[in-house]
Structure 1
Amino acid sequence: PFLIRAAVIEGVATATEVSTIGIFYSVLAGLLIYRRFDWRRLYPMLIETASLSGAILLIIGTATAMGWALTQSGFSRELARAVTSMPGGVAGFMAASILAFVVLGSVLEGIPAIVLFGPLLFPAARAVGINEVHYAMVVILAMGIGLFAPPFGVGYYAACAIGRVSPDAAMGRIWRYLGAVLAGLVLVAAIPWLSTGFL
């Protein structure tokens, strides 16, 4: 843990890259310290990991292509214009933003969605009097709903691939999770203090 923390803080590697240190340590501990890890299991595990990573990267790649297409079509500017012109003031803007980011979270990967729409909608949120930290919390929760919402959610299919569960079989169980996240999202959106109370 100290090596991983030092590598991230010193800028040697990002948090994602430094995870390989944990994996390498786990393999060495299993082989040399606990002696419950067989060398022959390593190659099939690496093959399975590579195929799973390839499937997830394919999903992310197609989501990134979708983000590029939305940018080129001018959809992001039209969305920002539509959201800022919504009636209802702060509540209307927040409701429209939630709806927009739930949809965006289901068809785009998180980083492209924020890169595309963050610079357009965050100044608009500031203009109507919404705290930026509060708005960021609402956006992240809304995208979390979209990320796992069938039938388009990228995270939903990635989770099914990791858990080796058919997306059709998991469809009935995901709604309780989404309902809990939606309840949390409504609370955070309605009570700004939950996001900004300790700033």
Structure 2
Amino acid sequence: MDPSILILVISFTFLLIIGTPVSISIGVSTLLTMLVSIDFIPAVTTTAQRMGGGLNSFSLLAIPFFILSGLLMGQGGIARRLVEFAKVLIGMFPGGLAFVNVISCTLFGAISGSAVAATSAIGSFMIPTMNKEGYDKNFNAAITVASSTTGLLIPPSNILIIYSLASGGVSIAALFVAGYIPGLLMAAFLMIVCAIYARIKKFPVGERPCLKDVALRSWEAIPSLALIFIVIGGIIKGIFTATEASVIAVLYAGFLSLVVYKEIAWGDLKPLLVKAGETTAIVLLLIATSTAMSWILSYENIPQDLSTQLLNLTENPLVILLTINIILLLVGVFMDMTPAVLIFTPILLPVAESLGLSPLHFGIIMIMNLCIGLCTPPVGSVLFVGCSVAKTSIGSLIKPLLPMYAAMIFALLLVIFIPALSEFLPEFFGLYNMP
């Protein structure tokens, strides 16, 4: 192995083991790698330049606005109304609250664009409710964790914006629309797991709502659900770009939370803005340092070398494709989603394209793989949040999570081998060439 790459791997792994934040670990290991072949001052200057260049993208302006809109939705009563809406639709079936959990997490994750926000907002309401109804505590936390990741595939999604940047400009609008069917497919398979659990464990059956309750909860949820149609409809119709849509999402979520639902006071905006700023800073620092690491990998010809090795591994494209997915699953286990996308997209995308996959199709495959990683130890951020909300341990969640991992992987395999699942909607709406 090349000495510089050896230094990169060893330094990055060591820094993570001793508890250094991921963004700092990436930046320091990148700088140490550059020092192998570049003097100190040029190495520091080059690292800083690459970090700054990684943030020089208009599309990244959408990230702070989508983060803020997610925070507004989490505290503005939107999560509770989505749960109540899902409950009157399917809460009366055996294990109905588990179905409600999946649908609520999917809807809220899609509206907020954050799996962590969905786990926290929906989990803090649904997990105690399911506990009171006699559902298994660890199963309740596990299904919340797994289903929260589906929202990362359904727009608006910050990680799809980051993939667009890493892939060299795949249409954000096309990525947004491409994620709908895979995201809903993953949610559907998780609901099948819930149905099997409900039958085996004999989960309780909820009360059948009256027509008045159905109408009331549906009416209350319409303004929240309308955000999806406003944002995506505006992008599809060309009324605004994905970046402009993020501002629309903030204005609409603020209007709902402050004026319609009145669950956020004007005085509550300051801490929300501060939190949005802190989260944005963390995400953008990850993007900056990951971009610098991606550059040094390219400088050392790692993407080209790995592409050659993978293509020489076998003449069977199916084996190569499955190998890529195994790599992505392992990456998701040990690395957070943002740096994983920025670092491994330039490495693996050329290989995928040589196998005949479009950058759009590969992007959805990559995000689905990394979504599974968010639910797995030792780095799964959503898993940690779910354990915190449910007041349980990671070890207790692994057993109920196993069939959910299987369901998510099965959905992933369908998307891998049926490209139309991710490409049909972008082609139908003619979004491939949109910004």
TM-score (structure 2 length as normaliser): 0.35
Q: Which runs of 5+ in 1 are unaligned?
A: none
Match of 1:5 in 2: 17
Asked whether the equivalents of residues 126 and 132 of structure 1 are also in contact (C-alpha less than 8 Å), the reply is: yes
Q: Which amino acid aligns with 1:21?
A: S
Cα distance between partner residues in 2 of 1:83 and 1:127:
18
Cα distance between partner residues in 2 of 1:166 and 1:93:
37
Cα distance between partner residues in 1 of 2:78 and 2:173:
31
Match of 2:140 in 1: 135
Alignment equivalent of 1:59, drawn from 66, 73, 84 = 66
Counterparts of residues 19-168 of structure 1 (less than 5 Å): 19-32=23-36, 35=37, 39=43, 41-51=46-56, 55-68=62-75, 70=76, 74-81=77-84, 86-90=91-95, 92-108=96-112, 109-150=114-155, 152-163=156-167, 164-168=169-173
- Which SS does the other structure have where 1:102 is aligned? helix
Q: Deviations along 1:150-172, whole A, 9 cap, x unmatched?
A: 3x334333433443321234357
Cα distance between partner residues in 2 of 1:172 and 1:120:
29
CA gap 1:82/1:127 in 2 versus in 1, 3 angstroms: farther
Shift of residue 129 of structure 1?
Answer: 2.7
Shift of residue 178 of structure 1?
Answer: 3.1
- Which SS does the other structure have where 2:92 is aligned? coil
Asked whether the equivalents of residues 160 and 167 of structure 1 are also in contact (C-alpha less than 8 Å), the reply is: yes
Larger Rg: 2
Shift of residue 184 of structure 1?
Answer: 4.6
Q: Percent identity?
A: 18
Asked whether the equivalents of residues 148 and 154 of structure 1 are also in contact (C-alpha less than 8 Å), the reply is: no
Q: Deviations along 1:52-90, whole A, 9 cap, x unmatched?
A: 66653343223223323x2xxx44444555556621242
Cα distance between partner residues in 1 of 2:146 and 2:401:
18
Is 1:196 equivalent to 2:419 in the alignment?
no
Shift of residue 189 of structure 1?
Answer: 2.6
Cα distance between partner residues in 2 of 1:24 and 1:54:
26
Cα distance between partner residues in 2 of 1:179 and 1:81:
20
Shift of residue 173 of structure 1?
Answer: 4.9
Q: Deviations along 1:1-58, whole A, 9 cap, x unmatched?
A: 234212x2xxxx5xxx2441232122211332xx279746434311133346665334
Cα distance between partner residues in 2 of 1:36 and 1:187:
55
RMSD of the alignment, in Å? 3.5
- Which SS does the other structure have where 1:149 is aligned? coil
Asked whether the equivalents of residues 123 and 141 of structure 2 are also in contact (C-alpha less than 8 Å), the reply is: no
- Which SS does the other structure have where 2:35 is aligned? helix
CA gap 1:159/1:134 in 2 versus in 1, 3 angstroms: farther
- Which SS does the other structure have where 1:122 is aligned? helix
Higher relative contact order (CA 8 A, sep 6+): 2
TM-score (structure 1 length as normaliser): 0.69
- Which SS does the other structure have where 2:135 is aligned? coil
CA gap 1:165/1:186 in 2 versus in 1, 3 angstroms: same
Cα distance between partner residues in 2 of 1:77 and 1:64:
14
Please, which moves more after superposition, 114-123 or 39-48?
Answer: 39-48
Asked whether the equivalents of residues 188 and 195 of structure 1 are also in contact (C-alpha less than 8 Å), the reply is: no
Q: Deviations along 1:115-164, whole A, 9 cap, x unmatched?
A: 333222111111233223222222223221122113x3343334334433
Q: Which amino acid aligns with 1:138?
A: I
Asked whether the equivalents of residues 98 and 142 of structure 1 are also in contact (C-alpha less than 8 Å), the reply is: yes
Q: Which amino acid aligns with 1:5?
A: I
Q: Deviations along 1:162-193, whole A, 9 cap, x unmatched?
A: 43321234357545743663465245434559
Cα distance between partner residues in 2 of 1:19 and 1:197:
29
Cα distance between partner residues in 2 of 1:172 and 1:116:
25
